[in-house]
Structure 1
């Protein structure tokens, strides 16, 4: 029997979850006793508030990461702009902080489980560090951010990377589910469901097979290819620039006001005659600056962080005496304000 577990979490998008649920239930009508569908959470059976006016759906069990079949993760519904607690990144981060990330990580190493996502569901996995180096798609608004997590963004309706199948925008849940029905149960069952729904799938499913086009439709953002070593950048700094960049020398206590709360970071910056070196310490992590560059009295660099989520961040700061101000940015997320003070 093919078992489908559709994961719910507080703030999930209704259509992301219910459209695939209905597709799988329709398929079950054509394959007696060969397919079962269950709504689950990381915590177990409970009432789950969706992100659409708080409409509640009952989950009947706990996600089992060892059960053969398909696990489908929807995205979130919330504020598309802004950085408040009801913004989509904040909702996804709260879901990521539950046991869900660990359960999906466990499922991804099983040979007989397919993990599927719809819309921002791939971002939830990516923010937990589960998609690094893997082709995937998400809602078009989040493609840059997907790349910033280390995943490989592919502009396709559905992306099939073996045991990982991801879908794009909200309505792609229909396409993801119908594709999985065809892949696991055959084209005749998928066609029967399409006939019932009077719906035909959109687009070609992208797979990493066959001939490669001369211009691949794979979007690899600058952030997704950050080289973290070496931690220096030879700039050929002119004498006048040395005086200006030396203002950044020293140790700094910095605070980044992110949508997920304030992030405290200790920065150490050293400017030589031909290079800039820097590290950032957050918690127990020490991260070297990647590609530090001084332009127009501003110092910019990139960092690959793992907490509170895996992200590639780009920084741009300036100093006035012992005061540092600037921004940190990941993909299409709003820029986060950075402030800091020199401590030595």
Structure 2
């Protein structure tokens, strides 16, 4: 995965609006620079790197949404969603194909044949999604998005609520620093994750766990975004959150597999004998069902492992007061006047 570049020209003590413009311009450029890598289908990591860059960009837009006008936010989101969706569509199939190929290599021969046919289905889907990606990140389309963004960034303005707070303190728009914004955003992201943590006590409810995974991802990206403002002190927090995100992400992947395989088995069984007759052969049908059942058992077992990992780490966070430690670190380098404005 491509590491996010340090943001050149970012001043954590400057006003938040200036920082927002610098960050978004940098993140957009990072994403667009990875286009050639993403179109090199011989190396699937190229799509992954550009997808991660698009996620960082969209996460930053979401983080800054509390500070800028809604109409500015809508303009900034324009075009990026389709790019991220096309990248995600291809990446999902890349990961699925790699997982199936690995499992086929470990499975008995009869089951491996069925897994290979399932893999072929995913390859056909990937080819279709690559066609969508080619259009989504066409050179002229990305150029238009960049042009639209540069215009939008020139015109972006603080939301009324922050202008009012600045006016109340008499300090002007630059009263709220970029570091202050980071403190506010990271705190909100942690509170969101903390409130969703009860999902760990309902292990069979997939949607709450999925929402917790997304919250962990947003918190990690927020910490990485503002890491320059606190230096190396934030690295351990980012690593811990990355570990939690990984466990929840692997758990979610298992849920997706389980749903797909379950629907496949149910569909192929729903037609009874007619379904078997319409298939290429009874033997192929039987092997496909054996492969799907084999995979379903595998991912059900893996899901339990990843759930336990996430639950154990959350327990460790409770014991070590992760939230308190994070809040204490965020208090470093606090700007007293900005704090007063944020709390009004």
Does TM, normalized by the shorter one, top 0.5?
no
- TM-score (normalizing by structure 1): 0.22
Comparing both chains, which one has the higher relative contact order based on Cα–Cα distances under 8 Å and sequence gaps of 6 or more?
2
Higher strand share: 1
- TM-score (normalizing by structure 2): 0.22
